[in-house]
Amino acid sequence: MKEVTLSVILTLKGPVIAGSSAAGAFGIDLPFAKTGSGELYLPGTHVKGRLRESIEAIQSALELSEDEIEEWLGQGSSEYNRPKRGRLIFEDFVTLTKDGKGIRTRIRMDPERGAVRKGAYLVIESPFKSGEMVEFKGRIRFFCENDGEFSKIKTIIHKGLRWIPALGGQRSAGFGCLTHVKLEKESETLIPEIVTPRTSCEALNLKLFPKSPFCIAIPRKAENLFESDSVISGGAIKGSIANTLNRILGKPLNEEIDDSLPPPWTELGRYFSDIRFDHGFPSSEEGGRPTHYPLSTVRTQKDEESDKAETHDVIFWSGPRLIHGKAPVFSTDWKGKDFEAVESEFRWGKRPNTILRVRTAMDKDKRRSDEGKLFAYEMINPEGFVWHTRANLTKVPEKERVNVRSQLETLLTEFGIRYLGKTKADVEVIVSPAEKQTVPDPAKENLWVITLQTPALMTEPKTSLNEALVNSEILFKEYNAFWKEISDNTLTLIRFFAEQKLMGGYLHYRFQSGRPYNPFLLTSEKSVFLLKSDEGKPWKETKKLFKDWLSLGLPLPKWALKKYGGEDGISWKNCPFVRENGFGEITLG
């Protein structure tokens, strides 16, 4: 098995337009799509869609089956949000021709008046003249077994592209005529067959460098808008690594990773489910991994004349009080400068910029946009950022840890991660051994402050919680019961500041199909708990408990094991919020 990258040059005859969803210059209704560095481009998704349409039109001549087309180009599915991913990955096609400046106008006629319809005047950014030849260069990547399969796929791509009459927008008006197609093999990456031996360690630090914009979708606010989180969840990282392994071995992407993997990946497959991947937090390339501030953080101004506000943590306060004669302000009422000031103390710098791309499904019969099928991706632009995460191997038997570490590190450093998020972005990875987790001294004698860095399943979603807003004791009892259970009655809750959120939708249908609809109730990141340890318990046992939580995250309570677990217990198959997916990460002080 090998991965091949094709260099593709498409020559279009001007005028050409690839409309951008971003705002253009003043007076421009339809600007040309530009990369972050200002280069003009045709979206790779557009070329892929036009190629699919072309291949389907000459399918019989190419002697291709429907299954082969779906395997290469994928198949969308609204059922449980489980589309079939295609083997061919398309990058954007960037112009090689120096872009000029210019505009074009189009109108729509009023058939009754014989004049321009009111408001139907379109100003188009048109950098290329009529008849001008414009080259766009992009890449198409895919995995193949051998040279024979490579030649077949390359031939199909070439014939399919040549059958496309035009690319871009306004094609029916003569824009974007495709005149020439050039394909060349740019590179070939062989799959590692020999694993480089490493020494044993409990965890690995991973620095992730996505090579293109990606979208890790958060719960949708609208049906047709997919907004990306700037944090890459451990589950997304683990799933992308699983997809990468399956693809390089010629298996379906959604096949389970287990000890059936052939050498040299057998041990990695056997213990893959036991490896915990922390969430990837973004920072500048020079910075370290940031942490979340606790919800007990407040801001207050020392005096009216001062422009600067002070930051305080009120977790040790037994009740409300004033600071400098003023009520402290919690994060729900902060302004932008407050968030910037506090987050900078926790190593959060400027967040990555986002890129909005609007797409549409096509009506095959009408050969135009399908009605009501417009959707948008708000993607993360990774330029200038690195995502810090960890792979924890402590649940892997010590005698197998060397093999698992060697296989995982070889895969990540020599090949990287593929298929990240909805855009299937490539990720370059730098791996280094992580320092062992150490338990710090308590903030005060026998008092511990635990702050969630990632969401966690802590309280059971039940109707009694409906009264929690009017009876503060309800949530206190629930959280106290959680801490007592997982600590074997070692810890007692003193006070807390917490937020909760419901996660349902497709997650229920994917992980809890066939059961009554009950969203997952998560305690959000930044939630903070002040706990007192039992003086009668040996410090050695308490320290072991804390080290386990720092390394692997908080364990799931018994109610979650019973509610979400299947016949074989609870795992990533029936609950996405398990420890191994990076949930329940804490800081301890």
pLDDT in tens, 479-535: 999 999 999 999 999 999 999 999 988 777 778 777 788 899 999 999 999 999 988
- The pLDDT of residue 82: 61
Distance of CA 394 to the CA centre of its chain: 25
Predicted pLDDT at 470: 87
| Predicted local confidence at residue 174, as pLDDT | 87
For 203-285+366-433, CATH gives 3.30.70
**Angular region, 325: left φ>0, alpha ψ -120 to 50, beta rest:** left
Between CA 361 and CA 45 the distance in angstroms is 11
Q: Where are the beta strands (DSSP E) in 455-584?
A: 491-497, 500-503, 520-523, 528-533
For the domain with range 447-588, which CATH number is right: 3.40.1620, 3.30.70, 4.10.830, 2.60.40?
A: 3.30.70
Rounded to whole angstroms, the Cα distance separating 549 from 453 reads 12
Contact 107, 116 (CB under 8 A): yes
* Residues in CB range of 63: below 8 A, 6 or more apart: none
Measured from the Cβ of residue 408, the count of other Cβ atoms closer than 10 Å reads: 26
Estimate the crossing angle of helix 66-73 against helix 44-57, to 10 degrees.
Answer: 170
Going from the first residue of the chain to its last (589 residues), give the mean pLDDT of each consecutive group of 10, the final group possibly shorter: 93 88 71 83 92 93 89 70 78 80 77 78 84 94 91 95 93 90 91 82 96 90 86 97 92 89 94 97 90 96 74 94 91 93 92 87 70 83 96 96 95 93 94 92 88 97 87 94 96 96 82 82 98 86 93 96 84 92 96
- How many other CB atoms sit within 10 Å of the CB of residue 146? 9
Three-class secondary structure of residue 300 per DSSP: strand
Query: What are the residue ranges spanned by the domains of the chain?
Result: 2-110+119-190, 203-285+366-433, 297-345, 447-588
Domains 203-285+366-433 and 447-588 belong to one CATH topology = yes
337 vs 309: CA distance, rounded Å: 10
